[in-house]
Structure 1
Amino acid sequence: MKSDIAKTEQTKQRFHHRHLPNFTRLTKFIWWKFSHLYFPIWIHFMTDKYEGRRHHLVVDIIYSVVTFILIAVNLAMGIWYYLYFVPADLELQIVTTSEVVSGEPMHVNVIYSNPGRDLKQATMDIYLPEGYIPGEQHNAHSLQHVELGSLPSGSSGVVTISGVVFGDIGETYDVRIIADYQSAGRTFYEAATHHFSVLKSSFELGLELPKAVVYGEPVEGTLVLINHSIVPRKNILLTLSAPAGFRAAGIDAGDSEAALNVFTQQITIPSIAAGQELRIPLTGIFIQPTSDEVVLGDLETEVRISGTSGVESEIIDSARLFDDGGKSNVVSLILPRVVATLKSPVALNFGFPLSSTITVRNAGNSVMQQVALKVFATGSALVPSRATAAVVKSGEREVSQSVTLNDGFLVLPVIEELAVGESATITLSIPTTILTTQNVSASLRVTGSVFAPLVDETIAIPAASSVTKFNSRVELGVDTVYTTPGGEQLGYGPNPPRAWEVTAYRVVMTLRNVNNVIAGTRVTTQLPTQVEWTGENSVSAGTELTYDESTRTVTWKIPALPPQSDAYGAQFEVWLTPNHLQIGQIPAITLDTKAVTTDAFTGSAILMSAGATSASGAVVE
């Protein structure tokens, strides 16, 4: 036991009195002071410094404990400050375009990076605008949720959202991102926003109109709609507007199911497929202003077509319509330079040619060239393929020539030039055929164009039209009958007639109406002096037969006669008493039979004559 104590004392003396290997004096001094302050127990056991001074050991131990506590507290406060007052960081950046085309693809790239401590349970919510349709690889919602998971310090990545964006032209929309993550048991949030504007639309609108049009004349144009997007459009609403009084009158919808509201000047189209182009013919008219505040004459105006449309999508409200902008066309409005008039008969009999006169006059203030007219002739009784025309200009008449029939129009000879105030006349003759149909009419409409060197444009000639109605074909017949063709004897007395003896005959009148209702028909005939009215007669129902003894006139009145295949009839009995001076002659039974009636369709009076009738043979002794 004494030997161990002696060894320990010897070791203390060696440590205290000798330098440690390779230590300099300064290093030994610093290490000694540090050890003395913070590790007094170790110094006590390794050296004899505290021999006989144990109270110093107690003080140094208290000092070192307090020092260690202070150091620990400071370290704990530093760690606590780092964990709770130095926030974790997740950098977010949205990379995409700032100007988009409505209906075209838009890619949203979200770049994230972690420059600080490790992050856990990181997620990202991407809020897309209402008109954004994500691609098939994403969920069909405007909110895209992305799980990032754990993000070590220094990690980064990119999240790409691909889809098609829709919006109103000129409006600004936002893409917003909110990310949350955890670090040291706490939840942190980061946000980023990107603004973009809709520059134009992929739904292209267009309106094709002539460069120059004439007030009051029909204008033919074409609505052009092209859906360049990969997404179908629906509930399309187009609006026409023009300050110079343009009014759309009709459209040729075809398969598009388009409809025009002439009151609101709006056109609705149910849908248009992706990549589809629609061309819809449109007709309209420019109404010439009449207000005293408006300067009348040639001017230029803009006709604008604007529209809105919906989108075939699950995530966009079906009632949401996006503004697709519009397109304007500049049109020159020109007062009529050449005026055309058309004169045709009001009523015409079947089989007679329809002869019409077309007069064109230069009402402008300059020479007009290449006056080209064409006539659209409609009517089942017309034979336009055999039409002819002749031009009279400056008193000189051209030889009649056949007219070209092109696409349903009769193309008239071209008038090369019209001086200021000069007129030209074209006589058009169209053959007709005989029909049995009712209420037949024919209409002519002359249109054309003329080149105006003053404005260097080919402009339209205001249209002129006419309507001709065809009179009903009414057939009048009268005959004197003794024996019918079937052998039935209707008369009595000698036949052939004998002088100074009475022979009775039956006079039969017929009236057949073919086409239109006729009214107020009067059929009259006179009896010669040798013929006497017996009073025996019969007529078709609704008609009346009378005899005026003073004038020896028989009158058959028919109030109204509709078109029918069967003829109306009237018959009456007469006595013939020839004298000896008429032996060898065939005496007359009735004089000329005449009829007059009014065509209820055409309003024209129709006159007919059937001539005289005579006995069945010459008078014998």
Structure 2
Amino acid sequence: MINIAAKRQKTDQVIKEPESRPVFGQAVGLFTLPARALSHHAEKHYRSRYHGRYRTPRRIFAFDLALIGLVLILAVFSLAEFLTRPLLPEIIRVEMAAKPGAPRSGDRVTLAFSYENRSRVEQKEAEIALRLPRGFLMEPAEIPGFQTETQTLQIGDLAPGEEGSFEISGALLAVPGTPFQAAAVISARDGKTGASRILAETFTLPVSSSALAVDLQIPQTAVGGQEVSATLSYRNEGNAAIAEAMIVPLLPEGTEIVGSQPDLVEGVWRLLDIAPGSAGRMALRIRLPGAEKATVGASLSFRVEDQLIPQGVTERKVSLVSPAVTLRSSADRAEVGPGEKLTLRIEAENKGEFTLRNGELRLDFDPGLVDLDETRPFLTSAEAPGLAEFRPGDRLSAEIVLSLLTDLTMTGEEPMPPVLGQRLTLVGELDGYGRVVAAEEQVEYPVRSALRLRAAARYFTPEGEQIGRGPLPPRVGKETRYWIFLDIESSPGDAREVVVEGKLSRGVSWIDLQSVGAPGAEPIVYDPGRRMVRWKIPRLGGAIRTATYGAAFAVELLPEAGQAGDLAALLEMVTIRGIDDSTGKEISATALEVTTELAADARAEGKWNVTE
């Protein structure tokens, strides 16, 4: 049997009541727990890293503990100094204001900076370094202590309460809608402690728009695949000159550029030195692809060195229609010359489903060729009633005679083969779409150049200087020297292999005195056997305007008795011939016989006939 009473007695001997301790003692024990824990870890660290490894492990361990304590003390002092010292904004104030307050990109802006020493201690070697973006084109500033290259102001020592200000100006170029940010980095050294402090203040300016306004004008309705004209106009509405701007046409894929004025260079128009208030325009002729709608636009950018600063995009929507009108033309000749007439036959057919009303036929041509007003159509519904309402299925035939001027002058700036007509267009009002170019056709008929030759003799120059020799009027049996002047023209195009010839009359002899004023021309030569004078010009230029070239040579007249009382002939059978560059055909002209009638020589007036 088990003795339960004996077991209970043994258990009662093991479990005892805890001893009662004072409250103060318990509190002290609570605070010493971290110390005992730290002591435990230190002893553990000592035994694992120092004990048994060094000759004097306790001394080395104590030295390491002293270093750790020193680092902790320094950290506490540094934190206290940081929390109690004043910040730089509390010592020096720097602010910026802009005039105008909300500038446009391209405006001239003045930035005003002010600063002040707010502390009770002098701030030494103070300076403000500006951080401005490349889009701010700063003007040279005459500010004491300011270095334009580094954009730094050397303030020097600032006494307590001392303040100052300065201004800089320049053109502001920024992306409209993007804030313009400038920064001022201020640094100074405390006059009492010698501590250096640096602070950067950032300032922001709103830029809402561009000072260079660009407008695009293009018809709201156009015919797909046919030429349409667009005009880009610009105006500098700002208060500063814009050094360089770039405008890029934005065209739908498949658009053909027919021409531009001024010319696009690598697809870009460059504008230089745009003064405040100045304006201009560019013209663009394009063929839009056949679609229902197209978007035509242009992007504007300012250029600063190699950086482009976008200024925005201008866009217009164009509705495209297809009137399906055909236009054909033919002429009664393949070429035309000065003073000649060209009959132009025109046929049009409306193969579409729209009615074209109030139609007009226009022909682009050089106004220096035809005596017509290039600003008005040459055929309207008044001359061709079928143009009033050109319905689907209708056909139209018309004929017009173009008369070329006798004296032709090309007005273009670049040399080119002269042609009559450039483009024939049919313009009208299309049902529901407004006024459109319904059809067009290139019409280019070569203009054959003409040669002109004038020959005249002189005894005196136009200034009155005597160049002739011998008696005047000429006398029988006495030699009189005259100068014969040749003036030749090619109009309006170039001519090549040009030859001028003339035969010396009876009693006239050749003197090897001459002057040639045509570039590339050969000297005048004389053939004694045939008594012919010949002058060759390999090329005679006249592509832009009528070109005049000249030469002169001297002859001597020895009159005979039978010529007394009459004019004496000097040069006869005077001709010019050459090959027209544009057509490859031979062209020629003649001049009047040259006699002693010196009509252009005022000082020789009345001294023409031979005397005895």
User: Normalized against structure 1, the TM-score is what?
Assistant: 0.48
The structure carrying a bigger strand percent of its residues is 1
Query: Which has the greater radius of gyration?
Result: 1
